[in-house]
Chain A
Amino acid sequence: MSINHETVSGAVDSAAQALADELVAAISGTARSFSLHRKVAQQDEPVPALAAIRVLGADVLSAYLLAGHAFPTADAELVHAAVGAFPAPPGTAPDAALWALRDQALTAALAELGVVAAGWPGLAGTAAEPTEAPHWAAWSAELVRCSSLALPPLASPLREQARRRRLDLMRGVSRALLRRDYPSAAKLARWLALDERQACEPLLAPVLEHLEFLAADQPRTKLDVALARRFVLAGAES
């Protein structure tokens, strides 16, 4: 399923933006500690908070995977509850393949943190191999939707494609910037940064600076930029 809209209004979007803001602080090192269940416990309404976890997918684990924050059992249980509360659509739904890819990433990220998620109710079934769009514009639009798969410990066919099609990826970033679609530009820059050490992209640094300035009021975009920065930094250190 492909929906072309900026955001939906309402509590779920606000909760996702708020959680993204917390993650930016945790990843950038400005927050001393990060705990998902403590953040949720502070909310009056648990439903939007759980929904936000589902919307951000594997990204909610980025603070633990990349910034060294401890991953308590309570946080794993919270992710479990969010998956149960917001189950994947049935396999016949038009967005089933997208959910399957995202849930595969979530399961793999949890496994990296020592949590076995297989069998959790609400997780999508196994994903079929995604078809690779030959045209760069259609292909990069697909990468935008699957940005939560762009995390260093996670391997995927999309990551292989992103490693191989650097020029197409850069075309996608340029197009998104020219359209002033900063959320998409940040998600594609994140893919570009993921394996930057193997395929250096000189335009990545100015793109990230540009996005930091232009998307200062968009927490989810800031999260993608913060993650991209983190990938570049980790690549330079290793």
Chain B
Amino acid sequence: MSVLETYGFVVPGEEDQDAVRHLIATGESATSTGPGSAQGAALLLLAGAVLLSADPRKDEPVEDAYVGMVQNLACAAAF
């Protein structure tokens, strides 16, 4: 018996058909916990506030402080 004869009469249930259509239509994730997300943005603001309130060294531009971490956070927030 050929493979087509073996599997040619398989009748999937409606649930399986729906699952296939759903998986095929799935696009990008609706949720995000990254820095670009709403949750991530809140964390970024918090982290930024903590860093700024920690008072960078005298005469040092704030964006260069803490090994450029503020710059990195700003770039991440921009995305």
Q: Chain A: residues with CB nearer than 8 A to chain B?
A: 1-8, 10-13, 16, 37, 40, 46-48, 50-51, 54-55, 57, 74-75, 77-78, 80-82, 84-86, 89, 95, 98-99, 102, 141, 144-145, 174-181, 183-184
Kindly state whether residue B17 has any CB partner on chain A within 8 Å.
yes
Q: Is B20 an interface residue (CB 8 A)?
A: yes
Q: State whether the Cβ of B57 lies closer than 8 Å to any Cβ in chain A.
A: no
- What 9 A-B pairs have minimum CB-CB distances, sorted nearest first? A179-B32, A4-B30, A81-B7, A12-B19, A181-B29, A77-B4, A178-B36, A77-B3, A180-B34
**Residue B58 is within 8 A (CB to CB) of chain A in the complex:** no
Chain B positions 5 through 48: 1 when the CB is less than 8 Å from some CB of chain A, otherwise 0: 01110111101110111111111111111111100100000000
* Contact for A2 among B4, B20, B27, CB less than 8 A: B27
Chain A residues positioned under 8 Å from B76 (CB to CB): 178
Asked whether A81 lies within 8 Å of B3 as measured between CB atoms, the reply is yes
> Contact between A4 and B34 (Cβ–Cβ < 8 Å)?
no
Decide if A85 touches B11 in the complex (CB within 8 Å): yes
| B19 and A8 contacting across the interface, CB-CB below 8 Å | yes
Contact A84 B8 (CB under 8 A): yes
Query: What residue of chain B has the Cβ atom nearest to residue A121's Cβ?
Result: B8
Q: A13-B19, A37-B3, A86-B20 are in contact. Are A81 and B10 (CB under 8 A)?
A: yes
Q: Which residues of B contact A (CB under 8 A)?
A: 2-4, 6-8, 10-13, 15-17, 19-37, 40, 76, 79
Tell me the bound Cα distance from A102 to B20 in angstroms: 13
Q: How far is the CA of A145 from the CA of B29 in the complex (A)?
A: 11
Report Cα–Cα, A3/B30, bound state, in Å: 9
**Are B33 and A180 in contact, with the CB atoms below 8 A?**
yes
Q: In the assembly, what is the distance between CA of A145 and CA of B11, in Å?
A: 26
CB of A6 within 8 A of CB of B29, answer: yes
Residue from A50, A55, A57 within 8 A of B7 (CB atoms) = A50
Known contacts A4-B30, A12-B19; 4 further A-B pairs (Cβ under 8 A): A13-B19, A13-B23, A85-B12, A86-B20
Q: Which residue of B lies closest to A177 (CB)?
A: B34
Q: How far is the CB of B32 from chain A (nearest CB, A)?
A: 4
- Evaluate contact between A47 and B10: CB separation under 8 angstroms: yes
Can you name the residue of chain B whose Cβ is closest to the Cβ of A182?
B29
Residues of chain A within 8 A (CB-CB) of B10 are: 46-47, 50, 81, 85
A140 to B, closest residue via Cβ: B28
| B56 → A minimal CB distance (Å) | 26
Give the residue among B23, B33, B76 with the most A Cβ atoms within 10 A.
B23
A145 touches B19 (CB 8 A): no
- The complex places the Cα of A80 from the Cα of B22 at a distance, in Å, of 21
B residues less than 8 Å from A12 (CB atoms)? 16, 19-20, 23
Please give the distance in Å from A3's CB to the nearest CB on chain B: 5
Interfacial chain A residues near B8, Cβ < 8 Å:
80-81, 84
Distance in Å: Cβ of A139 to nearest Cβ of chain B: 12
